């Protein structure tokens, strides 16, 4: 089956020289009506910001927080806490042109470095449960990166900074039916023995194949990173040091898909075969023994969508998704551990800890409906049913012994390998809502259910005495009310949301992965822009929210009503865009992150921070622009992320010191 999809995609890819006069685009917003919860970042903003890290791009989205780690590492928060752990990434779905970049069940918390951000033509952020349309892993939301746009100007953009880092992006096309984009980064890092080299390539073509319009997209990424770990202080000179100079992360990805569209009578048909591959090797420097993990996946699938256009005032869509994947994971500790506690030295042995393969298959069907009355009253709904199967094969001895079968002290080795098994998860979700236009306002109300199946690492990468992870899919119910107001010189979004999550997957005091946790999430989001006068535009994005535990387990410090760790109540940014003279644009960004607790018991906290960033853009000629910026203008000492560990206490990823950047862009 993977070979069939590979041949299908390859056939359509090599026909890119055919002529066509229409560009095809895929947008999540075409399938999602709750506009206040959908944020878009335009190509102009992407080009203007020219970000070094994804975090810088998402400051303009209310309720979104991309927590920067080392280099290109990140953790995601969309109307949620910053989630950690082996399955945390399963709560957020990362899409490219509406297609998930990873197979279901095998996410990666850092998988934003597998998308070509600075080559994207738009970024769409969907906050809140989105499973009814996009499936599992859209529990708290989804992020869609629209690939590079054909018919854009050719350009070369470069930038350097005071660390002597360098990055460049390039887009080129000679005809109207294909485009090539390349992005290169060489970052020295501001901490000792840190930095990364990153290369990304995107190719897009459009063509006609008999009665089908086809758009093919190829994406390649590679990153070689020298990682820096947590430190005990973000205020002292320790913030520039790295206690893990040996740490690294090497990752690459490949994605190829072709979107085929045909219009026939009152139907529009879409077919999209796709092929994906990713591979990553890295040292788990945060664990005793510092084992090396190697993982890879090859996946393929087919998306089918049919839009029915024969009913007046109604829009009906029906879709089916098929996907298969082959996943491999290995964890190996190169050296004997002698520097930790007697317990850790005994239970974390040298050699292989895990070595397994998982074959997955997914089938999903969904239905979408809209009804629009003559007085601009719209009713919309989505329903989805999905089945995901895991066929797990342990390539080592079952249980918690060493690789050679000998026993560890203290009752057994820390790493536990379940026996071969076959597990399936069947889930369904729905969404229902309405909107009504009243003069310059549009009112929205919706109820939605989301889900995410347990991830492979939660099911098969067990610890201590656990031999079976009896888990159910996490579920969330959400009610949202929003108002979208627009005028000649302003746009404002207001959203009120309340959600409850159950079957929360977590680790108990015995390091067993179990389900049964509960949480509550409620808040207000305000975002928009206003043109004060021809020389000043203000843009803002703020979130006021509470994320609470709704269960108690004293052995791990969780008590009902406590604030969830890594969940600030207040966060947001305000942008002052100033146009003092013709051809010159200045931007002052004020970024605020409120206080948050770093442990479930709410005994430790990070006070939050307030940062100022400055950017400028000047048109030297019709073809040549220069850009300049100062990040962290007042050189605040802050933490990009604060955490608490029972082993090491308070720990931090330090924030960037003051950094200037300068570059140019040439269009041709």
- Distance separating alpha carbons of residues 110 and 115, to the nearest angstrom: 11
- Looking at residue 297, its pLDDT comes to 98
Phi, psi of 526 (to 5 degrees): -130, 125
pLDDT at 432: 95
Instruction: In whole angstroms, give the CA distance from residue 468 to residue 474.
Output: 18
Q: How far apart are CA 89 and CA 108, in angstroms?
A: 6
Which 8-state DSSP code applies to residue 175? Answer: S
C-alpha R_g of the chain: 25
How many CB atoms are located within 10 Å of the residue 91 CB?
A: 26
DSSP letters along 192-237, please?
TT-EEEEEEEEEEEEEEETTEEEEEEEEEEEEEEE----BS-SSSG
- The dihedral through the CA atoms of 61, 67, 73, 78 has a sign that is negative
Q: What is the DSSP string of 642-664?
A: EEEETTTEEEEEEPP--EEEEEE
Residue 437 CB neighbours (<10 A): 13
What is residue 633's predicted lDDT score, i.e. its pLDDT? 98
Residue-level pLDDT at 28: 59
Q: What length is written for the chain?
A: 668
d(CA 451, CA 136): 6
Tokens 């880092």 correspond to what residue? 165
Residue with the two structure tokens 């492979």? 456
| pLDDT for 29 | 58
What is the Cα–Cα distance from 120 to 366, expressed in whole angstroms? 28
Task: Give the pLDDT of residue 36.
Answer: 86
The dihedral region occupied by 405, where left means phi > 0, alpha psi between -120 and 50, and beta the remainder, is left
- For the stretch 132-147, what's the b/e string if a residue is b when 16 or more beta carbons lie within 10 angstroms of its beta carbon? bbbbbbbbbbbbbbbb
Reference 568, options 586, 545, 542; nearest CA is: 545
Which are the contacts of 373, defined by CB distance < 8 A and separation ≥ 6? 313
| Domain residue ranges in the chain | 2-667
| CA atoms within 13 Å, Cβ hemisphere of 96 | 30
User: Hey, is 242 helix, strand or coil?
Assistant: coil
Residues linked to residue 168 through DSSP beta bridges, in sequence order? 158, 184
H helix count then E strand count, the chain: 6, 35
pTM for this structure?
A: 0.94
Superfamily name with CATH number, domain 2-667 = TonB-dependent receptor, beta-barrel domain (2.40.170.20)
User: What's the CA dihedral at 196, 76, 258, 20 to 10 degrees?
Assistant: -90
> Which DSSP state fits 563?
B
Q: What is the arrangement of strands in the sheet containing 38-42, beginning at the earlier edge strand?
A: 38-42, 122-127, 141-146, 92-96, 99-100
Query: Could you report the average pLDDT of every consecutive run of 10 residues in the chain (668 residues)?
Result: 44 43 51 83 92 94 95 95 88 95 93 94 95 92 94 92 95 90 97 96 93 95 96 94 96 97 91 98 95 98 92 91 98 96 96 98 96 90 97 98 96 97 97 93 96 97 95 97 95 97 94 95 97 97 98 95 97 97 96 97 97 97 96 98 89 96 96
Q: Classify strands 421-438 and 415-416 as parallel, antiparallel or unpaired.
A: unpaired
pLDDT of residue 330: 98
Q: Could you tell me if 511 and 466 are in contact, meaning their C-beta atoms sit under 8 angstroms apart?
A: yes
Distance, CA of 516 to CA of 102 (rounded, Å): 26
């Amino acid at each position: 089956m993977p070979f069939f999809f590979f041949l299908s995609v390859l056939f359509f890819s090599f026909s890119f020289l055919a002529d066509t006069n229409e560009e095809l685009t895929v947008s999540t917003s075409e399938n999602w009506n709750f506009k206040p919860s959908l944020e878009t970042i335009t190509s102009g903003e992407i080009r203007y910001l020219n970000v070094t890290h994804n975090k810088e791009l998402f400051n303009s989205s209310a309720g979104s927080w991309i927590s920067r780690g080392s280099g290109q590492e990140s953790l995601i928060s969309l109307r949620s806490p910053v989630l950690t752990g082996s399955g945390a990434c399963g709560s957020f779905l990362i899409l490219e042109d509406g297609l998930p970049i990873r197979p279901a069940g095998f996410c990666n918390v850092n998988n934003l470095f597998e998308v070509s951000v600075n080559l994207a033509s738009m970024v769409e952020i969907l906050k809140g449960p989105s499973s009814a349309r996009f499936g599992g892993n859209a529990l708290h939301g989804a992020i869609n990166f629209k690939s590079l746009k054909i018919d854009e100007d050719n350009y070369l953009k470069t930038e350097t900074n005071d660390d002597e880092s360098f990055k460049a992006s390039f887009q080129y096309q000679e005809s109207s039916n294909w485009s090539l984009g390349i992005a290169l980064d060489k970052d020295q890092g501001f901490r000792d023995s840190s930095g990364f080299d990153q290369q990304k390539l995107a190719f897009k073509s459009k063509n006609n194949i008999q009665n089908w319009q086809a758009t093919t997209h190829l994406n390649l990424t590679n990153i070689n990173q020298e990682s820096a770990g947590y430190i005990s202080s973000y205020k002292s000179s320790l913030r520039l040091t790295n206690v893990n100079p040996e740490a690294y992360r090497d990752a690459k990805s490949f994605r190829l898909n072709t979107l085929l569209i045909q219009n026939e009578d009152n139907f529009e048909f879409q077919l999209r075969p796709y092929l994906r591959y990713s591979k990553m090797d890295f040292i788990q420097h945060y664990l005793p023994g510092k084992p090396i993990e190697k993982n890879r996946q090859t996946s393929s699938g087919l998306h089918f969508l049919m839009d029915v256009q024969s009913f007046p005032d109604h829009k009906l869509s029906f879709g089916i998704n098929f996907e298969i994947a082959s996943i491999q994971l290995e964890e190996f500790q190169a050296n004997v551990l002698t520097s930790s506690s007697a317990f850790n030295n005994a239970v974390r042995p040298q050699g292989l800890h895990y070595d397994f393969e998982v074959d997955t298959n997914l089938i999903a069907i969904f239905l979408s409906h809209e009804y629009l009355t003559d007085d601009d009253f719209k009713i919309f709904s989505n329903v989805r049913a999905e089945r995901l199967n895991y066929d797990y094969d342990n390539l080592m001895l079952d249980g918690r012994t060493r690789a050679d079968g000998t026993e560890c002290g203290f009752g057994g080795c820390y790493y536990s390998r379940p026996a071969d098994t076959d597990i399936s998860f069947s889930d369904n979700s729905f969404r229902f809502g309405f909107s009504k236009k009243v003069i310059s306002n549009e009112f929205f109300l919706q109820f939605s259910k989301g889900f995410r199946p347990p991830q492979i690492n939660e099911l098969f990468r067990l610890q201590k005495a656990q031999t079976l992870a009896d888990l159910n899919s996490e579920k969330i119910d959400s009610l949202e009310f929003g108002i979208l107001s627009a005028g000649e010189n302003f746009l404002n979004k207001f959203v009120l949301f309340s959600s409850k999550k159950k079957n929360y997957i977590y680790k108990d005091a015995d390091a067993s992965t179990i389900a049964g946790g509960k949480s509550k999430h409620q808040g207000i989001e305000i975002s928009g822009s206003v043109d004060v006068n021809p020389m000043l535009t203000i843009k803002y994005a703020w979130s006021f929210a509470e994320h609470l535990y709704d269960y108690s387990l004293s052995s791990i410090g969780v008590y009902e009503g406590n604030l969830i760790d890594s969940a600030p109540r207040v966060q947001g940014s305000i942008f002052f865009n100033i146009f003092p003279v013709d051809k010159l644009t200045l931007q002052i960004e004020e970024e605020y992150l409120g206080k948050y607790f770093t442990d479930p018991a709410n005994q430790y906290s990070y006070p939050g921070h307030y940062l100022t960033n400055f950017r400028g853009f000047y048109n030297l000629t019709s073809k040549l622009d220069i850009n300049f910026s100062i990040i962290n203008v007042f050189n605040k000492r802050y933490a990009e992320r604060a955490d608490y560990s029972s082993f090491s206490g308070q720990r931090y990823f330090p924030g960037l010191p003051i950094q200037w950047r300068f570059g140019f862009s040439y269009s041709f």
